Amino acid sequence: MKKYFSIFILFISLSAFAQDPVKDKQIKQAQEREEQERIKEVLSNDKTTNIRKVEEDQRKKDSINATVTVIDSLYREDQFYIGLTYDLLQKRPDGVSQNSFSSGLHIGFLRDFPLNKRRNVAIGIGLGYSMNDYRQNIKITEVDGKPFYEVVNENDVNFDKNKFALHYIDLPIEFRWRTSTIQSHRFWRIYTGFKLSCLVLNKSKYVQGNEKIRIFGNDDFNKLQYGAYISFGYNTWNFHAYYGLNSLFKSDAKIDGKSIDMNTVNVGLMFYIL
């Protein structure tokens, strides 16, 4: 009896530690399903992330394209200018010469009106200011309230300073050709045009030792000047030349009975911005 009881106890113990094959299979299937769900969730998250990234990239591209379109619709060039020139007097009377450095300053605004789709051909219309300082040997004095002109022989008279300065309001109009693009501000340009200038201030100054003669508002200077010009170059550096088509003085201004029929040629550099 004890023998059968011992065998029964041993059987019960072994059954407690034994594994149920059906149950094990169910557990394994559940684990596999859980793993598959986890993989699907990861793939779903990755897909969502990729879609969002693609959508964000597309929005950036659309924004860039829209920005380029806006810029292109307002694309203009070279609307502000500043120039430095050397001023030469042409058709000078006998004995008249220039000394030192006769300089010119030119600044202003030119509205750019593109004429083609590429916007590299345009018309420029503007408003500016210029000052031309001519250093020479024509001495200007006043006799009986009227200007009097004489040529000073620099070999005989050692004067300290002699000049006349002319200040103008300028009205330029020009034809413009350039190789510009919307992406680059470095390009070749050729601009040529016509300029009308209105004299707003003139003054002359002669200094020899203690002798100082200043004259303002000399009516013998022509109130209007007009001439043709050209500017060409690449990027920052541009050569500029202007040729005056009429005389700086009226016909009443004379030296030894002959009219001072001098015109001007200005050569130098022109710089453009915006």
Residue with tokens 């034994």: 18
Residue 127 bridge partners (DSSP): 109
Question: Residues near 204 by Cβ (< 8 Å), separated by ≥ 6?
Answer: 140, 163, 164, 165, 213, 214, 215, 218
DSSP codes, 92-113:
PPTT--B-S--EEEEEEEEEEE
- pLDDT tens for each residue of the chain, 274 residues long: 555 555 555 545 544 444 455 556 667 777 777 777 777 776 666 656 666 776 777 777 666 555 444 445 566 887 899 999 999 999 999 999 998 899 999 999 999 999 998 889 999 999 999 999 999 999 999 998 899 999 999 888 889 999 999 999 999 999 999 998 888 778 999 999 999 999 999 999 999 989 999 999 999 999 999 999 999 999 989 999 999 999 999 999 999 999 999 999 999 999 998 7
pTM higher than 0.75 for the full model? no
B/e letters for 194-230, b = 16+ CB within 10 Å, e = fewer, are ebebebeebebbbeeeeeeeebeebebbbeebebebb
Between CA 138 and CA 94 the distance in angstroms is 11
